[in-house]
Every structure is written in C-alpha cells, then in structure tokens.
Amino acid sequence: MTAFAGNGTISVLFRPDDVSAMLRVSKLTDYATVVLAAMAEAPAHLHAASGLAERTRLELPTVSKLLKQLAAAGLIESRRGVNGGYRLLRAPVAITVLEIYEAMEGKLAMTDCAEQPGACQRESHCQVQQQWRRISSVIARAMADMTLADLHHPQAVPMRGKPVPVKVALG
C-alpha cells in the first residue's frame, strides 16, 4: 500500500497481496471499543468484568487488563466490593473514538516527528514532516468526530466533520 497527500486529498494505492502494510489499531484498542460498546448498552449500570467478558466473548484476563487501562485514562470508573463493577464516567455520546485510542495507545501520530518535534535527526532537512503532521491531524479529527454512541449504533452515524476526499487505486 502506498499513500500520499496532495491538493487536499489522500491517495491510497492498495495491493491486495500486501495486507501487512495497512494502518491499523492494536488488538487491545479494538477490544477496548468492543468492551466499551457493551458497557454503552447500559451506561449507568455497574458491569462485572466477568459479565463483560461473557458478553463480548473475550478472555477475562484481557477484559480485566482493558478495564484497568480505561479506568486509569478516566473513561470508566471502578467500584470495589460485592456490588462493585465498572461503569462509564460519561455518556457514550461524550466519549470520542480518539479518546479511546489515546487511552490505549497514547497520542495519535503517524510518525515520530508528527508526535514530538525533535524526535528525528533528519527533521531539520525533512521535506515531508509537515505532510505527516497534516495526515495525523486529519485522522485525529475523524476519530474525534466519532463517539462511542456511534460505535454502539453504527446505523445512526451522522457525518459531523468535514468529509475527507480519498482516492483509491487498485492495481
């Protein structure tokens, strides 16, 4: 897959035999969205880790790890005790996909220099750094425009942001 930006568009050349070269989130981030979507079914309810594992068909140790990380990021709260469990700290419509991503993976950046200036020795003479920052920004905006509620009810996803034109060439 080859991607480049120009004239306000992102062009992608996808070769079907090259599936390893795709933009993707980690499995844990993917699973975090699944667990949070299950919690969004009853946002004020306290959910047991074992119940979430059963509902999502994920292993309990994985769900427990996700819940700890999501609680540390401030997306959910944990209550101990016999009547304890986990629940969302905000309504599903107030939790963005970008927040979920960053809770699991850190700040979104396509390249090291897009995340932190000075991270690359070639930065002073790099011709593409600004474009990578721009691409990172476009992806972050798209993720910020989608909420947990949108993930939970995919048929009702309204376009909130500005559409990003994408050209796809198969070859």
Longest dimension (CA), the chain: 60
pLDDT at site 1: 43
- The Cα angle at residue 37 between residues 134 and 72, in degrees rounded to 5: 70
**For residues 68 and 104, is the Cβ–Cβ distance under 8 A?**
no
pLDDT at site 39: 96
| Domains assigned to the chain | 27-88 (1.10.10.10)
The pairing of strands 9-14 and 166-170 is parallel
pLDDT at site 45: 92
pLDDT at site 158: 53
**For residues 75 and 100, is the Cβ–Cβ distance under 8 A?**
yes
pLDDT at site 110: 81
pTM of the complete model: 0.74
Token readout for 156 is 């009702």
Report how far residue 153's alpha carbon sits from residue 163's, in angstroms, rounded to the nearest whole number: 20
Residues linked to residue 169 through DSSP beta bridges, in sequence order:
13
- Counted residue by residue, the chain has a size of 171
Q: What is the mean pLDDT of each run of 10 residues along the chain (171 residues)?
A: 45 50 82 96 94 96 97 96 92 96 90 73 80 88 93 62 57 48
Q: How far apart are the first and last CA of the chain?
A: 10
pLDDT at site 2: 44
pLDDT at site 170: 55
Residues 6+ positions from 92 with CB-CB distance below 8 Å: 36, 40, 43, 147, 148, 149, 152
> For 127, phi and psi rounded to 5 degrees?
-90, -10
